[in-house]
Amino acid sequence: MSEASADDALFFDVVARSSSLTEAAREFGVSVSSVSKRLSRIERRLGVRLIQRTTRRLTMTSEGERYAAGAAVIAAELTELEESISEAHAELVGRVRIHATLGLGRAHIAPLVAQFLDEHPRLNVELDLSPLPLNIAGTTFDIGIRVGSLQDSRLTAKRLCRNRRVVCASPAYLGRRGIPLEPKDLEHHNCIVIRENEGDYALWRFGVDHEETAVRVSGNLLCNDGDVVTQWCVDGHGLIMRSIWHVAPLLRDGTLVQVLADIPTPSADVHALYSATTHVPRRIRELVDYLAAGLHPRIEV
């Protein structure tokens, strides 16, 4: 394979994992027209159509799927070669793309990533935050940070820390309204509800495994932003059910008080997801390990 065609294969590996030419262009830091022109040149050289493209999506032809599979092998072998060289010099080099949700990303992932880069200045990390979780399979992201249940078997999952959702309130609210002693008592309280991920968050779940029960709660405050909901709770407007990763500092300093603490709730552990390949680059392995070591003391109550 010539140098030009090898470079084309690496280029196509990125395009094949992108949802659109716009995403691929963003990955390369060039214009969409530049990506489109290069893709057309590769197709002319090979004499086949590799991708059917529209303004919104890319659909690979059968020839494109074959080329993408081979390109992925070349990209993996190059990554392994570069990693073996950098390991010999005990340096982490290259780029890592991470996706996380806004709240967890801002509160914990971003600070830990910055600390990791202080120790490994030759790395480049791109952290993308969004309101909703993202299935990173088939994207150009290297790591996805998820809270709660996992489903995609195409990815490797490593638990970064244990987490569960707890019910809490401010001391002022509990002083006015009393302390609920069992889940059914929640019907007599103002429960602040967060609406996210298209789920029914007016159902608060208790128990574990096959013994879960759901309690429908109600109140006069609802929001799709976790920080707003938590602040309402701090201000004494009602009860919330939030992840330990979110409220742990407030529980530690007494700003909020956990109630129903002796009643278990389903786990909602924090995981790092990455490609289920035989060779995971050392920079990804070490960053995931660093996040796992750093999250536990930040979240522990």
Q: Look up the CATH number of the domain holding residue 49.
A: 1.10.10.10
* Radius of gyration of the chain from its Cα atoms, rounded to whole angstroms: 23
User: Is the domain of 58 the same as that of 11?
Assistant: yes
Query: Does an H or E element contain 59, and which?
Result: strand 58-60
Last-in-domain residue among 32, 55, 86: 86
Q: How many CB atoms lie within 10 A of CB 272?
A: 25
CA–CA gap between residue 38 and residue 142 (Å, rounded): 24
Is 110 in the same domain as 251?
Answer: no
Q: Which of 86, 114, 139 is the last residue before a domain boundary?
A: 86
Q: Looking at the 3D structure of the chain, how many domains does it have?
A: 3
DSSP β-bridge partners for residue 255: none
Nearby residues of 167 by Cβ (< 8 Å), 6 or more positions away: 180, 186, 204, 239, 240, 241, 258, 259, 260
pTM for the structure as a whole: 0.70
Q: Are 231 and 188 in the same domain? A: yes
Short-list 28, 12, 21, CA closest to 65 = 12
Do 58 and 98 lie in one domain? The reply is no
Q: Are residues 227 and 273 in the same domain?
A: no
* Residue 132 CB neighbour total at 10 angstroms: 9
The domain spanning residue 203 has which CATH number? 3.40.190.10
- 264 is a domain residue: no
- Whether residues 201 and 254 share a domain: the answer is yes
Q: Is residue 286 part of a domain?
A: yes
The range of the structural domain enclosing residue 205 comes to: 165-259
**Tens-level pLDDT at each residue, the chain (301 residues):** 444 577 888 888 888 888 788 888 887 888 888 888 999 998 888 888 988 876 567 888 888 888 888 887 787 777 667 666 655 556 777 788 899 998 899 999 999 999 999 999 988 899 999 887 777 777 778 899 998 877 666 678 889 999 999 999 999 999 999 999 999 999 999 999 988 765 657 889 998 767 788 899 999 999 988 899 999 999 999 999 999 999 999 999 999 999 999 999 988 899 998 876 656 788 888 999 999 999 988 887 6
Let me know: does 140 contact 17? Beta carbons within 8 Å: yes
Q: Across 86-154, where does the E strand assignment appear?
A: 94-101, 123-130, 143-147
Interatomic CA distance for residues 155 and 152, integer angstroms:
6
> Could you say which DSSP state residue 51 is in?
E
Greatest extent of the chain over all pairs of C-alpha atoms, in Å: 76
Alpha-carbon distances of 90 from 42, 83, 94, 286, 293, rounded to whole Å: 37, 10, 13, 12, 20
Domain final residue pick, 86, 117, 133: 86
Q: Which residues, including other chains, have CB under 8 Å from residue 106's CB and lie 6 or more apart?
A: 129
